[in-house]
Amino acid sequence: MRTLQNILVTGGAGFIGSNFIRTLLTQDTGFQGRVVNLDELTYAGNAASLNDIQAEFGGKRYFFVHGNICDNKILSGIFTEYNIDTVVHFAAESHVDRSILGPEVFLHTNILGTFNLLEAAKTAWQKNDGSIKEGVLFHHISTDEVYGSLGAEGFFSETTAYDPRSPYSASKASSDHLVKAYFHTYGLPVTVSNCSNNYGPFQFPEKLIPLMILNMLEGKKLPVYGDGKQIRDWIHVEDHNAAVRLILQNGKSGETYNIGGENEWENIRLLHKLIEIVCDKAGLNKDTVMQTITHVTDRLGHDRRYAIDCTKIKNELNWKRQFDFETGLANTVDWYLNNKEWIDNVRSGEYRNWIQKNYTRR
Ligand code: NAD
Ligand code: TYD
C-alpha cells in the first residue's frame, strides 16, 4: 500500500475536487499529509466551497494556489516547494454543452494542461539516470464519455475501444492517451479512472441534477433535451472519491479503472423522481412543477446511453459503494435547500470575487 504524503490536487475548487479534499482531510481516511490545491478558478471553480477547510487546515495541511495547469512555472514551483509525491488531476473543462459552443478552451485545458502537468511531474520525479524515483504516482481523473455511446445493451469496460463523440469527450480521450503514453515511454507511474455521471453537494448548477433542483425552487422551466430518454449511470461523488483513494493507495501503475454507479436512469424518469423529492421537501405543488417540464431542442450529437462495468475495481481493489441512489439524491436535495448562501453567491456571480477578497497571487 502506498503512503500518501504531499498531494497536488488540480481543480480542487470544482465539484468533485472540493469534495475529494474535504473528505481526505476531515474523514477517517488515514491520510496524514498535506494537500496543495491548484485551481484557476474558472466559472466552474468556487473557492468558497472549501472555506471551512481553509479555516481549519490553511497554511498547515491545506494550501490553495491560484493558477493554471497550462502555466509551467507555477507547476514546477509547486512540485519543488511542496515535494509533491502524488498528483490527482481533476482540473478540466467539464461541461459537454459548453464544449459544443466553444471547444477551444477544452483543448487548451484538457489536452495541453494535462500535457504540462505530465511534463512537470516527469521533470520533478526523474532521477539523473532517467529513471523515476520510487513511491510517486500521477492519477488522472477521466470520464466514461471517452467510450462513446451505447445502444440498449452492453456496458463500457476497461477494454472498450475509445470512441469519443463530443469535443469534451474527445479532449478527455486525448488526455487519457497522453497519460498512458507517459507511462509507456518514460516509465511515469500513472493510473487512470473513468467514471460515470457524479451527483452530490457543491455541483455547479449547469449540470442536470443541480440545474433541475434550482429551477424547480425558482419556478423556472425544466429543460429536457430531445425525448429525454437518454440514459446516464449516476454515482454519488463520495463513492467516486472513495474509489480514487483506493486507486491512489493500491492501484497498479499503468492501469485503468472504470468506476460506476450501476444505476441507470432515463433523464425524464430521473427528473420525475427529483420532482417528487423536491416537492415533498420544499412544499411545492407537484402538478404545477410537472407542467414546467419543457422538451427543448436536443443536444448536438447527444450520446444515448452510458453504462459502466466496474467489476475490475470491485474485484481488484475491493471497492464498494456506500450510497444508494434514493438516499444520495434526497441528501443532495437537502444540501441545495440548506446552503442558500452558496447558491445565492453562484446565482449572483458573487462567488467570482472570492479571489480579490481572500488571496494575493504570487
Ligand atoms: P468542475 O467543472 O466542477 O471543476 C473543474 C475545476 O477545474 C474548477 O474548479 C476549475 O476552476 C478548474 N480548472 C478548469 N480549468 C483549469 C485550468 N486550466 N487550470 C487550473 N484549474 C482549472 O468539474 P468536475 O465535475 O468536478 O469534474 C472534475 C473532473 O472529473 C474532470 O476532469 C471531469 O472530466 C471528470 N469527471 C466528471 C464527472 C462528472 O459527472 N462531473 C464524471 C466523470 C469524470
Ligand atoms: P449533464 O449533467 O450535462 O452531464 P453529461 O452531458 O456529461 O452526461 O447532462 C446529463 C444528461 O441530462 C444528458 O443526457 C443531457 C441531459 N440534460 C438535459 O436534458 N437538460 C439539461 O438542461 C441538461 C443540463 C442536461
21 contacts: CB under 8 Å, gap ≥ 6 = 9, 12, 35, 37, 50, 53, 62
Kindly report the protein residue whose alpha carbon is nearest to atom 14 of ligand 1: 92
Please choose, from the candidates 144, 151, 176, 199, the residue with its C-alpha nearest in 3D space to the C-alpha of residue 309: 144
Q: Report CA(319)–ligand 2 centroid distance (Å).
A: 27
**Known catalytic residue: 326?**
no
Distance from C-alpha of 197 to C-alpha of 144, rounded to nearest angstrom: 8
145 catalytic? Reply is: yes
CA 121 to chain centre: 21
* Residue 327, all three cell numbers: 438516499
Distance in Å, CA 92 to ligand 1 centroid? 4
Ligand 2 neighbours (beta carbon < 6 A): 96, 197, 207-208, 211, 223-225, 230, 232, 267, 299
Catalytic residue at 257? Answer: no
Per-residue pLDDT at 360 = 61
Domains and CATH numbers, the chain: 6-358 (3.40.50.720)
How does strand 264-266 pair with strand 231-236?
antiparallel
Phi-psi region at 219: left, alpha or beta (left = phi > 0; alpha = psi -120 to 50):
left
Amino acid of residue 269: R
Q: How far apart are CA 146 and CA 217, in angstroms?
A: 34
CB 24 within 8 A of CB 139: no
Angle between helical axes of 325-338 and 267-282 (0-180°, round to 10): 50
Furthest-apart CA atoms within the chain: distance in Å: 69
Distance of CA 178 to the CA centre of its chain: 19
Pocket test for ligand 1, best of 93, 94, 166, 308 (most atoms within 8 A of CB): 94
Among the listed residues 39, 40, 85, 144, the single catalytic one is: 144
Q: Whose CA is nearest to atom 19 of ligand 1?
A: 68
Decide: 79 and 124 in contact? Cβ < 8 Å. Answer: yes
Contact in structure between 17 and 263 (CB atoms under 8 Å): no
Distance CA 354, CA 12 (A): 15
Rg (CA), the chain: 20
Contact between 292 and 219 (Cβ < 8 Å): yes
Atom of ligand 1 nearest to the CA of 172: 34
What's the pLDDT at 358? Answer: 84
Catalytic residue among 85, 93, 145, 233: 145
Q: How far is the CA of 207 from the centre of ligand 2 (A)?
A: 6
Reported as type and span, the H/E element at residue 322 is none
Quick one: which atom of ligand 2 is closest to the CA of 299?
Answer: 15
pLDDT (tens place) for every residue of the chain, 362 residues total: 999 999 999 999 999 999 999 999 999 999 999 999 999 999 999 999 999 999 999 999 999 999 999 999 999 999 999 999 999 999 999 999 999 999 999 999 999 999 999 999 999 999 999 999 999 999 999 999 999 999 999 999 999 999 999 999 999 999 999 999 999 999 999 999 999 999 999 999 999 999 999 999 999 999 999 999 999 999 999 999 999 999 999 999 999 999 999 999 999 999 999 999 999 999 999 999 999 999 999 999 999 999 999 999 999 999 999 999 999 999 999 999 999 999 999 999 999 999 888 876 55
Query: What are the backbone angles phi and psi of residue 264, rounded to the nearest 5°?
Result: -90, 135
For the CA of 207, the closest atom of ligand 2 is 2
pTM for this predicted structure: 0.98
DSSP 286: H
